[in-house]
A = this chain, B = another copy of it.
Amino acid sequence: MSILVVGTVAFDSIQTPFGKAEHCLGGSATYFSLAASFFTEVDLIAVIGEDFGDEDVAIFRGRNINLDGLKRVDGAKTFFWRGEYGYDLNVAQTRETQLNVFADFHPQLNEKQRKTDVLFLANIHPELQMDVLHQCERPRLVALDTMNLWIDTKHAELERAFSEVDLVVINEAEVRQFTREPNLVKATRQILALGPKTLVVKRGEYGVLLVSKNAIFAAPAYPLENVFDPTGAGDTFAGGFLGYLASRREVTDLELRRATIFGSVLASFTVEKFSLDRLREITLADVQERYHDFRSLTHFEDFEA
């Protein structure tokens, strides 16, 4: 079972109340790939500039990540994002975005990539998301992420994209922004009515709400004493979530719940250090141990303390 992700591989400069990191590794596809590779083989589709050196690419090596779709463009720079967080770590303030090589990014999938089993369209322009989707033959599961910018400027395109995917990963505020409905449950029903079978609503430090036509599942975030940098938490969640699902034979309600917990586990590691520093050092045993902890965090009828 394989999973294909299209998104950014980037450099970030990040400031939080707990420190700062200049020009560190980032990007939606980077966080996603590392998280998903704990469970399944990942095909990474992204573009980098000549400033992205071999020592940077090394983050993907020795993992289950296929780099055939990672293109380097000479004479150009890698996507760059500068952001800042206050004590409310749920809200990032974007200070600067340089598209650089990403401005002209039009990936062409090869034969193997077109046959992917699971497809994740990270938060990029909805028309680019659809272009990649339409190159694929028939993935059994397609998911997309999006952001406030596209809700504001590409509402119709995004609505069409929602109608063509199985699963939407989206922030709570964006659900309300897209539907203009303050009640979250009603708002999720409106988006489900557009076509997707499942909505994964990310609520930052409050966890995740998984909403399907006939079921709702709520997972808290793992309570942490030290949160240094929330950058990439959403993409890491998506990687753990879809990576786990890609490794399973069927997408049942139970597997969706377990996937939500695995996604939450991976995201909880990401925020413990800056950039990908924590995600790159953990092992599958760490992931499994924290998955077990989630049971005692949430179950009230049967659990081990």
Taking Cβ atoms with an 8 Å cutoff, the residues of A that contact B are 17, 87, 182-186, 189, 203, 205-207, 209, 214-220, 223-227, 253-254, 257-258, 260-261, 294-302, 305
A295 and B303 alpha carbons, distance in the complex (Å): 13
Write the nearest CB–CB distance from A164 to chain B, whole angstroms.
26
Q: Are A225 and B186 in contact (CB under 8 A)?
A: yes
A305 and B252 alpha carbons, distance in the complex (Å): 12
* CB closest chain-B residue, reference A88: B182
| Across-interface contacts of A183 in B (CB, < 8 A) | 224-227
| Across-interface contacts of A227 in B (CB, < 8 A) | 183
A203 and B203 alpha carbons, distance in the complex (Å): 13
Q: Which of B214, B295, B301 contacts A295 (CB 8 A)?
A: B301
| Across-interface contacts of A223 in B (CB, < 8 A) | 184-185, 209, 216, 218
Instruction: Give the one of A185, A218, A225 with max B CB within 10 A.
Output: A218
A227 and B187 alpha carbons, distance in the complex (Å): 13
Q: Are A299 and B301 in contact (CB under 8 A)?
A: yes
Q: Are A253 and B305 in contact (CB under 8 A)?
A: yes
Q: Are A299 and B298 in contact (CB under 8 A)?
A: yes
Q: Which of B226, B261, B300 contacts A261 (CB 8 A)?
A: B300
Write the nearest CB–CB distance from A208 to chain B, whole angstroms.
10
A261 and B297 alpha carbons, distance in the complex (Å): 13
* CB closest chain-B residue, reference A253: B305
Write the nearest CB–CB distance from A195 to chain B, whole angstroms.
21
A223 and B215 alpha carbons, distance in the complex (Å): 11
| Across-interface contacts of A296 in B (CB, < 8 A) | 215, 217
A206 and B172 alpha carbons, distance in the complex (Å): 12
Q: Which of B253, B254, B300 contacts A258 (CB 8 A)?
A: B300
A157 and B250 alpha carbons, distance in the complex (Å): 57
Write the nearest CB–CB distance from A150 to chain B, whole angstroms.
23
A203 and B205 alpha carbons, distance in the complex (Å): 11
| Across-interface contacts of A305 in B (CB, < 8 A) | 214-215, 253
| Across-interface contacts of A218 in B (CB, < 8 A) | 207, 220, 223, 297-298
Q: Which of B225, B260, B295, B298 contacts A185 (CB 8 A)?
A: B225
Q: Which of B205, B206, B254, B300 contacts A298 (CB 8 A)?
A: B300
| Across-interface contacts of A261 in B (CB, < 8 A) | 300
* CB closest chain-B residue, reference A258: B300
Q: Are B185 and A217 in contact (CB under 8 A)?
A: no
Q: Which of B217, B253, B260 contacts A297 (CB 8 A)?
A: B217
